[in-house]
Amino acid sequence: MAPSPEPLSARTRALGLSLPPGNPRARELAAGWAARYADPVQRVQAALRLFGSAPFGYTLRPPPLGTQQIDSFLFETQRGFCEHYASSFVFLMRAAGVPARVVAGYLGGEYNPIGRHYIVRQADAHAWAEVWLEGRGWVRVDPTSAVAPSRVEQGLDAALGGQDAGVWAPSQEAGWLRNLRWAYDGLTYTWQRWILQYDRGQQDRLFGDWLPGIGLGQLLMYGLATLSLLALLPLWLRRRRMDPVDACYAQVCRMLARHGCERGPAEGPQAFAARVASSLPHAAPAIHAFIATYIGLRYGAMPELHRAVQLVKLHAAARGVATSLRKRRKRDTAAGAIRSI
């Protein structure tokens, strides 16, 4: 028989029911559940039925939300990823009188058949919720599973479709490159498991049986030299292919240079944007929007999922700059034609 959970303290209960101001429609919906269902489990099920209804969908490219973000997501956009569903579910539960909290961690991973282990990356980050139920304690609830069961059961790649699939880079990885990555990761994992995690006595016995005549110091030196060379391989590959954020920024800089605004060698993005906006006032809004997104990507710390979404926004902002510059060129051409007449 499982032991009874510890009682919920008054402070933890207050934290589990606290809500920010605003979002009246979500509050009204949750208050209706609280009045209709005496059992908190029924309120949880009502929220899951809401997310399981047809309008809701899973995407890494959610539309922008309004100032009342919970209301905007629940009643307008109805498309998002795990953080949208976990946070809105917790809001509804707290408004319905059920203590709840958001939990962040990792879900899934990639099996490496070469090293025979699982690889868990930042792309496997996931958010779910926990609700407090009397007699049971904190109980896990994943509202994303009501919207996209494949995200929980099979991983992120299985939940994406259409244009979203392009955001998830490993799904587009070539087979030979994946095998090379698996081999490198397997080598690193094997080294950590069989060498670094053993004490000196175990290492001496291991190498004495496998490699008689070679000292431990020599083997470590050869191994470190090999790992150092392998560690330089990703850097070499990265140099051959420019970072997508830098590539997009360089493209916009070349575009602006053709319109008489060439960036100086030591000119930062903000100073460059201010100068370009002064010289090309018609394109100022588009340029400022692009630079703001670029600075967030280049210098800000964010999860990989958010970074993928922001990279899409960066390319959209670059297209906005190109559009504003083309409009100016058309106006200048038309003005020149009128003057020639």
pLDDT digits (tens, 9 = 90+) for 259-287: 888 988 888 888 998 998 888 888 889 88
Name all contacts of 176-184 with Cβ < 8 Å and 24+ positions apart: 179/114, 182/112, 182/113, 182/114, 182/115, 183/114, 184/230, 184/233
List all residues 6 or more positions away from 124 whose beta carbon is below 8 Å from its beta carbon.
Answer: 106, 107, 108, 109, 155, 156
With a cut of 80, say whether residue 252 has pLDDT above it: yes
Give the pLDDT band (50/70/90) at residue 75. Answer: very high
Name all contacts of 57-62 with Cβ < 8 Å and 24+ positions apart: 57/147, 57/148, 58/144, 58/147, 58/148, 58/151, 58/159, 58/160, 59/160, 59/164, 60/160, 60/164, 60/167, 60/168, 60/305, 60/308, 60/309, 61/163, 61/164, 61/167, 61/309, 61/312, 62/309
Structure tokens at 236: 């070499």
Looking up tokens 């490496």, which residue turns up?
112
Give the pLDDT band (50/70/90) at residue 178. Answer: confident
Average pLDDT over residues 39-53: 94
- DSSP-assigned states of every residue in 261-308: -PPPTT--HHHHHHHHHHH-GGGHHHHHHHHHHHHHHHH----HHHHH
The pLDDT mean for the chain works out to 80
Q: Which of 82, 84, 164, 248 is catalytic?
A: 82
pLDDT recorded at residue 153:
41
pLDDT recorded at residue 87:
95
**For the segment 91-123, what is each residue's pLDDT rounded down to a tens digit?**
999 999 999 999 998 876 777 777 777 777 776
Exposed (0-12), middle (13-18) or buried (19+): which is 127, by Cβ within 10 Å? buried
- Calpha distance 252→276 (Å, rounded): 12
Looking up tokens 């034609």, which residue turns up?
337
Phi and psi, residue 39, nearest 5°: -85, 125
Percent of residues, the chain, with pLDDT higher than 70: 75
Q: Which of 71, 84, 124, 126 is catalytic?
A: 126
Rounded to a whole number of angstroms, the distance between the first and last alpha carbons of the chain is 95
pLDDT recorded at residue 187:
78
Exposed (0-12), middle (13-18) or buried (19+): which is 47, by Cβ within 10 Å? buried
9-23, 151-165, 255-269, range with greatest mean pLDDT: 9-23
Name all contacts of 76-84 with Cβ < 8 Å and 24+ positions apart: 81/144, 81/305, 82/126, 82/127, 82/128, 82/144, 82/151, 83/127
Catalytic annotation present for 39 = no
pLDDT recorded at residue 138:
95
- Calpha distance 35→95 (Å, rounded): 12
* pTM beyond 0.75: no
Catalytic annotation present for 185 = no
Give the pLDDT band (50/70/90) at residue 209. Answer: low
Instruction: Order across the sheet with 125-133: list the strands.
Output: 100-106, 125-133, 137-141
- Calpha distance 17→11 (Å, rounded): 10
pLDDT recorded at residue 335:
42
pLDDT recorded at residue 239:
55
Question: Which has more pLDDT, 59 or 222?
Answer: 59
Q: Which of 71, 124, 142, 164 is catalytic?
A: 142
Catalytic annotation present for 142 = yes
**For the segment 230-246, what is each residue's pLDDT rounded down to a tens digit?**
777 776 665 556 688 88
pLDDT recorded at residue 328:
60
Identify the structural domains of the chain with CATH numbers, from first to last: 10-169 (3.10.620), 172-240 (no CATH), 244-332 (no CATH)
- Calpha distance 44→53 (Å, rounded): 15
pLDDT recorded at residue 132:
95
Q: How many CB atoms lie within 10 A of CB 197?
A: 10
